[in-house]
Amino acid sequence: MSKRNQYLPAALRSTADDSVIDSGDEKPQDEKMAKKIIGRKQRVKGGYTIALAGYALFASLFASSLNPISFYAASGMFLASGVAYILKGATVNDRLKSDTYKRLNMALGFYGLIGIFARGTLVKSTLVRNVWTGLSFVTLVNSIKGYGYGLKGWELAKVNPIPELINGTKSYVSTLFKIPNWKSGGYLLATLFFGLLKVSKMLQIFQLVSLKEWGFTLSSYLFRYGKLMMLSTLAFTLKDAADRDRLNGTTFKQLNGLVAIASATMIGKISIIC
């Protein structure tokens, strides 16, 4: 007890002492949370770094193959690497709260999940397959964390995800069925085109599963589905940006480049991909 407060009445003395204790406790708590936030950002950033480097490496290996299926699988890996790069930048600039990056996190995480089940088309090396599975798992977990931090903030505030999912679905439908300008119309056509191919591929996968064909064919179809899923998501993201006249933003320029390069691999090869 301070000498200054020992002559005060008991009630006032208690209040005065408590105020000193509280103010002393707040600073360490704030510092502790700040350190936690720094650590969380570094871990998520590191996860995206692993994803972008890992998928870039596998894309390079597969692109060098003379096998057409491997070459087109590489373009899907290239998309995943590019999206991981964009999300890494969003982490550094604290922009994961944006709907754009939440959408990209969901797409990248789903690609990681698909990759875990699609490992059967990789090279025969067990080591390489295990590395791929590890990369896919890290991508899945890190994307879930990235989405969660975008939803709850780095402090992990208590947020009900149900309204977020409902509002996201409503926003998707409303965005899909409005065409405020000609650029939006073009991206809508791209979204529908990739979406139809994605649904077609999904039906083929369901057919293979029903026939209990778990081998190479199923895995290769999963790789193709993953690529089409990424393309449809990126095309929709660009349509949303076109609606808001935001295509000049760095992220959307990068997404345009990714879609253009991946789409180029499909020209004249639809029969192989589908």
Of the listed ranges 60-64, 65-69, 228-232, the least confidently predicted one is 65-69
CA distance 211 to 217: 12
pTM of the model: 0.84
* Ranges 135-139, 179-183, 225-229, 268-272: which has the least confidence: 268-272
For residues 190 and 272, the model is more confident at 190
| Position 52 pLDDT exceeds 90 | yes
If phi > 0 it is left, if psi is from -120 to 50 it is alpha, else beta; for residue 245 that is left
Whole-number pLDDT of residue 241: 95
Indicate whether 65 pLDDT > 70.
Answer: no
pLDDT tier at 69, thresholds 50, 70, 90? low
State the Cα–Cα distance between residues 39 and 244, nearest whole angstrom: 34
Confidence grade of residue 61 (pLDDT, cut at 50, 70, 90):
confident
The answer to whether 69 touches 121, Cβ cutoff 8 Å, is: yes
Looking at per-residue pLDDT, the higher value among 118 and 15 belongs to: 118
Mean pLDDT of the chain: 84
Residue 64's Cα: distance from chain center in Å?
27
Provide the pLDDT confidence category of residue 17 given band limits of 50, 70 and 90. Answer: very low
Mean per-residue pLDDT, 32-48: 93
% residues pLDDT > 70 (the chain) = 82
